[in-house]
Amino acid sequence: MKDLLRVEAVSKHFGGIKALTDVSFTVRKGEIFGVIGPNGAGKTTLFNALTGLYQPDSGAIELDGVSLYRRKPHQILKTGFARTFQNIRLFHNMTALENVMVGRHTRTTSGVLAALLHTAHNRKEERDCAAYAMQLLNRVGIGKHAHSLAKNLSYGDQRRLEIARALASEPKLLALDEPAAGMNPNEKNALRELMVSLRSEGLTLMLIEHDVKLVMGICDRLVVLDYGEKIAEGTPETVRHDPKVIAAYLGAEVAA
């Protein structure tokens, strides 16, 4: 399988705290790639460094041959790397539909002049954008809430809306930061089905998740972080039996 994302020796520190130290791994096209680790291991920092919200101190990041190192978030999104947030970050006072339409910002072009003149191109683009957004809302199963404000959606629906917004940019790689957090078993199942069906359509997914059952069941490969360093990488089966991983989760004595 071809490599899609190549992360090489990425480091990030905040003052004296080393949040990430020389983290390297590759994500292959069409897989679901898990990022796990105990609390504070640097998982979200890794996502932020990859998607441009933090500037990494050193290293190399490439998506499909294009360097993402120290690019701005909107540039990274445009190259095809979309993400969701651990603590849901929606545009609360916009409708669900508008949220997804914002997600299509980089795939649309109308500027001020086009909007003022309502050019034929602009009208068509707006129509297509709304239709595409509606389709995505239906896809994640919240089409009936299209005209509700994002803040009025239930917790699980907000998570799904965030995924729809990320999908609107037509990414090659979608990074989900704890998408199942706070979901009930039914919602988790629906999420799992969604991820599997997205993979079957050729999308590559990265996943930070604490629900071990979900991660082990769905991920093709994983990387395990602890104290900002990679301690293991491989299939769920190999990672599960890695003594370093067991030590990180359960303490050194158990592993020994």
Partner 1 sequence: MNVLEALRSKVWLSAGLLLIGLLLLPFLVEAGLGKSWVRILDFALLYIMLALGLNIVVGYAGLLDLGYVAFYAVGAYCWALLASPHFGLNLPFWMILPMGAALAALFGVLLGAPTLRLRGDYLAIVTLGFGEIIRIFMNNLNSPVNITNGPQGITQIEPVSLFGFSLGKTQEVFGLTLSSPHLYYYLFLVCVALVVFVSMRLENSRIGRAWVAIREDEMAAAASGINTRNVKLLAFAMGATFGGLSGGLFASFQGFVSPESFNLMESIMILAMIVLGGMGNIWGVILGAILVTMIPEALRYTGDLQRALFGQVYVDPADLRMLLFGIALVLMMIFRPAGLLPSKQRKRELAEEAP
Residue 87: CB minimum distance to partner 1, A: 11
Q: Are strands 173-177 and 204-208 parallel, antiparallel or unpaired?
A: parallel
Residue 123: CB minimum distance to partner 1, A: 11
* Contact residue for partner 1 among 70, 78, 199, 244 (CB under 8 A): 78
Per CB under 8 A, 66 contacts partner 1? no
| Range 159-170 burial, b when 16+ CB lie within 10 A, else e | bbbbbbbbbbbe
Per CB under 8 A, 73 contacts partner 1? yes
- At position 180, the amino acid (one-letter code) is A
Size of the site for partner 1 (CB under 8 A): 43
- At position 183, the amino acid (one-letter code) is M
Residues in contact with 140: Cβ distance below 8 Å, sequence separation at least 6, in sequence order: 160, 161, 163, 164, 167, 194
Per CB under 8 A, 118 contacts partner 1? yes
Per CB under 8 A, 101 contacts partner 1? yes
**CB under 8 Å, gap of 24 or more: what pairs does 6-9 form?**
6/60, 6/61, 6/62, 7/50, 7/59, 7/60, 7/61, 8/59, 8/60, 8/61, 8/62, 9/58, 9/59, 9/60
Residue 105: CB minimum distance to partner 1, A: 5
* Contact residue for partner 1 among 111, 185, 200, 201 (CB under 8 A): 111
In terms of CB distance, is 66 or 94 closer to partner 1?
A: 94
Per CB under 8 A, 51 contacts partner 1? yes
Of 29-37, 147-155, 184-192, 219-227, the window that binds partner 1 (rule: CB under 8 A) is 147-155
Per CB under 8 A, 221 contacts partner 1? no
* Contact residue for partner 1 among 39, 93, 186, 200 (CB under 8 A): 93
Nearest to 249 by CA among 210, 215, 200: 210
Per CB under 8 A, 182 contacts partner 1? no
Residues in contact with 17: Cβ distance below 8 Å, sequence separation at least 6, in sequence order: none
Per CB under 8 A, 188 contacts partner 1? no
Per CB under 8 A, 83 contacts partner 1? yes
In terms of CB distance, is 52 or 59 closer to partner 1?
A: 52
| Encoded tokens for 30 | 């069409």
Contact positions toward partner 1, by CB under 8 A? 51-53, 72-74, 77-78, 82-83, 85, 89-95, 98, 101-103, 105-106, 108, 110-112, 114-116, 118, 122, 125-126, 129, 147-149, 152, 165-166, 169
